[in-house]
Structure 1
Amino acid sequence: MYEEALPIAGRPEKHHVQTTFNYWDDPGDGSKPTPIVIGGGRISNRRPHLPHDFVVTDISGDEDKYTLDGHGFQYCRHKSLEKDFVDEHAIQTLYYDECRQLLKEVTGASRVYIFNHKVRRGPTQWHHLGFSNLANRGPVTRTHVDQSYDGAELRLRWEFPEKADELVKRRYQIINVWRPIATILKDPIATADSTSVPDDDLVAADMTEDGFQGEQWVVRHNPAHRWYYKNQLTPDEVLLIKCFDSNTSVARRSLHSAFEDAAHRDKEPRQSIELVLGSASSTFLLVSLRQPDIDKLRGSDHPTDIIAMYHPR
């Protein structure tokens, strides 16, 4: 069971952070961003980025004001029986089942299929570790969205080649479920309010992962972007990040990135999991097989189906 509004013991003191976010260094000549290639135990990422100053707003105590459809992200209190995230079988059974139920409760969906997860326990500059750097995944300190609009359809068609022509007519989403394995101090994760990021700031970029040729967004700097995080996120909380939504009347995607908080620069590397789920995160591809509007289906006789695909790593 999750709680939309996290309980508040008094009004927590805000910890807003002055920091930098790394944005794609647009050469201005119309050339595409350098492709990323993931496979064979390593990732190659040579895209040039430049740091830009921002203040990240701590939303502690105000979590219920931010929603997937309103802002592109949402915080939920959600305890897991899985604590260590070192046993792949436990992750793919117990934790997957928990996240399926979570997504059903949050969205009103009837089914969930998971297609990916990543556990991050590595150092901040893990990209530069050379071969087998995927074994030391750390935080991603570059602003991005995991799938572009076209990239989301590419993923759908890759996973469901025989059903895709019908599925693309329905509402579908990709949502990342991000959970700390230990309370986050160093390199917390921030998300940007979707309404502060126009589509013109997003640039399609190729990314190949284990044979799948996908497409994500890199981001041009815009000082109007509004960044948010929750200070000291705990393992009993999850951050839902919308990577794509085919419904154009709601928030369709949220930029996200790790960032440095100088107050915790010397702490141990963070741990998390994503179900794309140390920090913990997950990714889900959600497909409405009946009605195009999930919100209208809550409490109806036509529950929404969520499809999320999992590939073993």
Structure 2
Amino acid sequence: MAAAVAITHVPPVFQELTEEHTQTTPIPRRRDVLTNINYYKDPGDGSLPMPIVIAELLTQLPSNTVKNERPHIPQQTIVHDVTGEEGKYTLDSHGFQFLRHESKTNSLQEFQDEEHVKGKYYPESIRLLKEVTGASRIFLFDHKTRCGPSNWHKLGKGNRSSRGPLLRAHVDQSYAGAELVLRRWFPDEADELVKRRYQIINIWRPIRPVLKDPLGVADGSSIPDADLVAASIIYPADRDETWTILPRATHRWYYKHAQQPDEVLLIKCFDSEASVPARRAPHSAFEDAEYTDGEARESIEARALVFYD
């Protein structure tokens, strides 16, 4: 993938308010939310989770149709607002990180234009990730724009074009699934690339301020590997493997209230370095009762393979 073609100013990461700063600037009030996080409901018989199917040929569904019938169980959870404390959370310590970064792409119409996103937004995102991580190489391999209802999975034929928030705890790639992604995009280099540290990081950005169905992200260090269950996504000629998540009361969840388009959330889905506290960060949209009647959330997530020398 080509290097960034436009230099985008990357303001510093969120900084803690200093004592001097608080004399003139009020500390933002945080707004924690009591809600449900939907976890995987294990049938208890040792069976694997039902795969998510895209373009299921047996029923002649088109390739823009997603079928997801996995059972889930809601668990009441407090999702903590990071407002005013964004600088506490980093990719290695928690598996996620909030940044200030203004994109030159700023409308839903532009974010729905594949050519525009790949030609303009991808280079910006590559530059951002290089500056934040210090990685030697960034490859954006996918993106998803969401602007539909939260029940989009139930809309039937063609529902993928109305993609909305996903109200289920998950990680986009399992450990094995991350290598599937690497080998798909770099078949000739994969044997060497897996010998060095690599990551998969999502860049999640609101297209307009988010109130309805905000994105929650879990502290990866609070979720043991025992709570991760590998689950497949089946395509007509390929497959991916993700993590679905078992419930546990000690999981810690966070979000940014009224997250703005210049408040970017980096979510680490995989890290080959096993010694860091957080190798991955489960995430899920969740319902905020105060905003259930609001307009559908608009957001974009870009997915990147991140390589280190």
- TM-score, L = length of structure 1: 0.88
Judge conservation of contact 2:200–2:304 (CA < 8 Å) in 1.
yes
Q: 1:12 aligns with which of 10, 28, 48?
A: 28
Tell me, yes or no, if structure 1 residue 56 matches structure 2 residue 79.
yes
Judge conservation of contact 1:58–1:231 (CA < 8 Å) in 2.
yes
- The residue type equivalent to 2:39 in the other structure is Y
Alignment of 1:11-50 (within 5 A): 11-39=27-55, 40-50=63-73
Judge conservation of contact 1:158–1:212 (CA < 8 Å) in 2.
no
Q: Distance in 2 between matches of 1:21 and 1:86?
A: 28
- The residue type equivalent to 1:270 in the other structure is R
Percentage identity across paired residues of the two chains: 54
Judge conservation of contact 1:180–1:238 (CA < 8 Å) in 2.
yes
Gaps (5+ residues) in structure 1?
276-282, 291-313
- The residue type equivalent to 1:285 in the other structure is L
- The residue type equivalent to 1:217 in the other structure is W
- The residue type equivalent to 1:256 in the other structure is H
Q: 1:70 aligns with which of 93, 96, 102?
A: 93
Question: Which residue in 2 is equivalent to 1:268?
Answer: 295
Tell me, yes or no, if structure 1 residue 256 matches structure 2 residue 279.
no
- The residue type equivalent to 1:204 in the other structure is A
- TM-score, L = length of structure 2: 0.89
Question: Which residue in 2 is equivalent to 1:154?
Answer: 180
Structure 1 range deviating more: 206-215 or 147-156: 206-215
Judge conservation of contact 1:19–1:260 (CA < 8 Å) in 2.
yes
Q: 2:202 aligns with which of 169, 176, 181?
A: 176
Q: Deviation at 1:93?
A: 1.1
SS at match of 2:136: strand
Question: Which residue in 2 is equivalent to 1:287?
Answer: 307
Judge conservation of contact 1:6–1:77 (CA < 8 Å) in 2.
no
Q: Distance in 1 between matches of 2:246 and 2:16?
A: 36
Question: Which residue in 1 is equivalent to 2:137?
Answer: 111
Aligned length: 282
Q: Residues 210 and 116 of structure 1: is their aligned pair in 2 closer, same or farther, counting only changes over 3 Å?
A: farther
Structure 1 range deviating more: 30-39 or 218-227: 30-39
Q: Distance in 2 between matches of 1:113 and 1:152?
A: 14
SS at match of 1:26: coil
Kindly provide the CA deviation profile for residues 208-261 of structure 1, in whole angstroms up to 9, marking residues without a partner as x: 246331111011110000000010000111100000000011110001000000
SS at match of 1:161: coil
SS at match of 1:150: helix
Q: Deviation at 1:91?
A: 0.9
RMSD, matched Cα: 1.2
